[in-house]
Chains A and B, each alone.
Chain A
Amino acid sequence: MNTTANKSDDEICEIVSFSVGAQEFGIDIQSVREIRGWTEETVLPRSPHYVRGVINLRGAVLPIVDLAARLEMGPSEPSARNVIIVTQINDQLVGLLVQSVSDILSVNKSQIQPTPDVASDLAKNFVRGVLPSENGMLSLIEIKDILPVELGEAA
């Protein structure tokens, strides 16, 4: 995230890791407000295909982005076992629908490697760095890029 970008390399940052499809992703814990189970959304008409709809988060209306669909990995078919990561950027709350949350990692900034130069649009658009992990590799993503255009601007 921007807040940590300018700090020195040996600084520790914490990352929430989760899986979407068969891949591992991570986001900065600073932007995570809470993690909750999936509940059925109310469909929003004329929304982008990756916006699943809105849910009631203790009285607030929370838009849900299907991360799998957003990362062009095909729409997910969620069940109660899926998880919504409630993230906050500035004042904007957005829920990310993911397969499951795996871990919270403390990593040294110096461990984060730049995104390898691959042809994938996904990598170019969303991945801001990679980390070696137990299961192989974890891609760090920037939430702002995940958001629908309008929300991204508002945030």
Chain B
Amino acid sequence: MDMEEIKQTFFVECEEQLAELESGLLEMEAGEADSETVNAVFRAVHSIKGGAGAFQLEQLVSFAHVFETLLDLIRGDELEASADVVRVLLRAADVLSDLVNAARDGTEADESVWQPMKAELDQFINSNGDTSPSGAESAEDEVPVQDGPDEFGFEPIPISLDMFETEDDEAAGEYTVRFRPTRELFQSASEPLFILRELSGMGMATIECDTSNVPTLDAFDPTASYLGWTITIRGVENKDSLHEPFDFVEDQCELEITAIASGEATGALEEVSEDDLSPPVLEEIVTSPAEIEVEVAADAEMADEPKVQAQVSDAPAKVAEPSKQSANAAPATIRVDLERVDRLINLVGELVVNQAMLSQRVVEAGLTETSSVMMGLDELEQLTREIQDSVMAIRAQPVKTLLQRMSRVVREAADATGKIVRLRTEGESTEIDKTVIERLADPLTHMIRNAVDHGLEMPEKRSKAEKSEEGTIELSAAHRSGRVVIEIKDDGAGINRDKVRSIAVEKGLIGADAQLSDNEIDNLIFLPGFSTATEVSNLSGRGVGMDVVKRSIQALGGRISISSRPGHGSTFTMSLPLTLAVLDGMVVTVGGQTLVVPLTAIVETLKPKNSDVHNMGCDAAVVAVRDSFVPLIEVSEKLAFGEERTNPSDGVIILVETDEGKQNALLVDSIQDQRQVVIKSLEVSYGHIPGVAAATILGDGRVALILDVGELVQHVPGSSLNSDQPMMLEAS
């Protein structure tokens, strides 16, 4: 691993830490936090700070440091986590996330954002100082007890060091550091070289490597750690600072820091270090704090610590590693290259097709349902289904991260509009395909902003309407009949139908005398070129309207609808497929070929009478569907499958709606089936064909094309091409 790779890993971990941080803070906001939550929040910031330090990301470190200090006060019960404080913390978490992103992209973070935030945090810390002297001290002192060596990881040493601190101060700043990493240090991918470099940067250092433990080659264990180093360093102001390089490895090495010229202290220290993993030392210190003249703050710290440890670990021998334990308490995960997962998904798709083919062949061979072969096949079918589901589940992720991101969107939108908004989320554990999650972020952000900006009223208006000043947005996700349904519900004023209607008329989207139901009016907001905001605000209304949202949802194979009650708010409902690898489709026959029409595009199917079909000119026709006339599209003609035209009354009409909301009637010969198909890209194996989205393989082993309804109806009939025309040449 080179440095760049390690850095990438750091940023990936940062994202996890930030998510952890945010979810912890949200729990605190909801008042559901226990001491473990606060610890987790603190750890997240601490880890980011530590990692950032290793990569010299100074802005990040300085901000994280202040943030961490404040969290530490809360952790030590010196500052109450009131609603105000948590709100500030949440905003600080946003800023921290921005800083991390800036560091990752190598850009400068916006000073005007993070500096004031830092100042605000500082203010909290300092104001707290009036009531708690130890807290104030920790804020002033760059390396206080709380902030020094990983206190939840390795408690005994810093305390014992504090004990000698007064003596050390006279020791002319010369220290001996004995450092012997254990196997675990290397297993966690830490690199002693960086630590040594950091140390030698602190003062005049002489480093000696101790190779006496290296065995002969036949006894050599390549994963074991045999080396140790003795570093003599001069000119260090503060002894605690020597601990900093070891922040993250302290429980993975033998470490001893002694001041030269203070022999007494050295002796005592060695004693502690040798036993540093055994609980008795800790107990001794904890149970007899009076004997050790440590600061009050440190004392409080110590009294708290064993409780935490007891929660996480029952094994007393491991008492020195509580933080590691609790950090590992999260479910074990591995990172896998997405390509490998996709390959697996493809293979399983093939397995499913193969299994279906086999079943069909067996039926064709005339075996009875009760024969043992058929029964075996049934079991195989169940197994393949299960394998497919499990493989799909690998790509699935809980929507939690997505919903959490929205809480930030709400905060920012609320700040920008001066509204008071509370976001309630539900169904965070609902799982959905990773790609769907990624592509859902933008439309969802936009809808949330809309809900805050247009949906909710200003506080004064709300109180007039006898509603609580605080507006609520409910964001929920749930599985419903093989799809994921995401709802965004606000308790605002609802859609002003008169206004929507008049805007639509004004913009020429509907006729002035159009008769529309309430629901139809509500759905007008999805039309291109529609925006209800009377003035363009900072948030929404920057040209991106609900039509774009609708289109991106449809691109994911989803649908979106709205329902609204005046005075009570609006609900947007999105229904999405669980994965992009399969699709629900209607299998139809056209000119002897089998095609698949995506179910999301289909509005209804009907059997037309000849009298319903009206010709327009020589080439085009429309079909009467209830009150309206819909363009009739002959699929076989469009795709140039055959010369003879199907008589409409012999075929079936599939009424489809394109992304733009226009309806078209597709004429097909017959409908075979409705089923889930595995999507196979045609672009990779052949190229793009207008009107065809992809291919799939049906149960009989034949390839069937999946129609791209939007593209199919776009082409005016005159441009229909015969099969000999090399369309691909043009396309290239």
Contact = CB atoms under 8 A, between A and B. Distances in A.
B641 A63 contact: no
A46 B727 contact: yes
Contacts of A151: 686-687
A56 B697 contact: yes
Contacts of A149: 726, 728-729, 732
B639 A46 contact: yes
Interface string A40-52: 1111111111010
Contacts of A42: 593-594, 695, 702-705
A47 B685 contact: no
Contact of A48 (B685, B692, B729): B729
B343 to A, nearest CB: 12
A25 to B, nearest CB: 23
B689 A45 contact: yes
A6 B347 CA distance: 38
Interface bracket on B:
35 or more
Contacts of A43: 593, 641, 723
A60 B732 contact: no
Contacts of A41: 703
Contacts of A58: 350, 354
B732 A150 contact: yes
Interface string A71-82: 000000000000
Interface in A132-150: 148-150
A59 B695 contact: no
A55 interface: yes
A1 interface: no
B725 interface: yes
B640 interface: yes
Given A93-B685, A151-B686, A40 B702 contact: yes
Contacts, number: 105
A49 B724 contact: yes
A45 B724 contact: no
A148 B689 CA distance: 13
Given A46-B689, A47-B689, A61 B723 contact: no
Contacts of A53: 703
A98 to B, nearest CB: 20
- Name, among A41, A56, A62, the residue most crowded by chain B CB atoms within 10 Å (CB to CB): A56
Interface in A106-155: 148-151, 153-154
A54 B349 contact: no
B686 A61 contact: yes
B680 A46 contact: no
A106 B50 CA distance: 66
A46 B640 contact: yes
Given A93-B685, A150-B728, A150-B732, A56 B703 contact: yes
Contacts of A40: 702
What does DSSP make chain B's interface, helix, strand, loop or mixed?
Answer: mixed
Interface residues of A, number: 30
A130 B497 CA distance: 78
Contacts of A154: 687
Given A60-B680, A150-B731, A151-B686, A46 B705 contact: no
Interface string B432-460: 00000000000000000000000000000
Given A40-B702, A55-B703, A60 B685 contact: yes
Contacts of A49: 723-724, 726
Contact of B687 (A39, A45, A55, A150): A150
Interface in B166-198: none
B702 A56 contact: yes
A39 B687 CA distance: 21
B383 interface: no
Given A59-B346, A149-B728, A151-B687, A47 B705 contact: no
Nearest to A53: B703
Contact of B723 (A46, A56, A59, A148): A46
Contacts of A45: 638-641, 689, 691-692, 705, 723
A32 B483 CA distance: 43
Given A46-B690, A48-B726, A61 B731 contact: no
B261 interface: no
Contacts of A51: 728
Given A45-B689, A56-B703, A148 B728 contact: yes
B686 A54 contact: yes
A123 to B, nearest CB: 22
13 contacts: A42-B593, A46-B689, A46-B728, A47-B723, A47-B727, A54-B703, A56-B703, A59-B354, A60-B685, A61-B680, A149-B729, A150-B728, A151-B686
Interface of A: 39-49, 51, 53-56, 58-63, 92-93, 148-151, 153-154
Given A59-B350, A59-B680, 4 more contacts: A41-B703, A45-B691, A47-B728, A148-B728
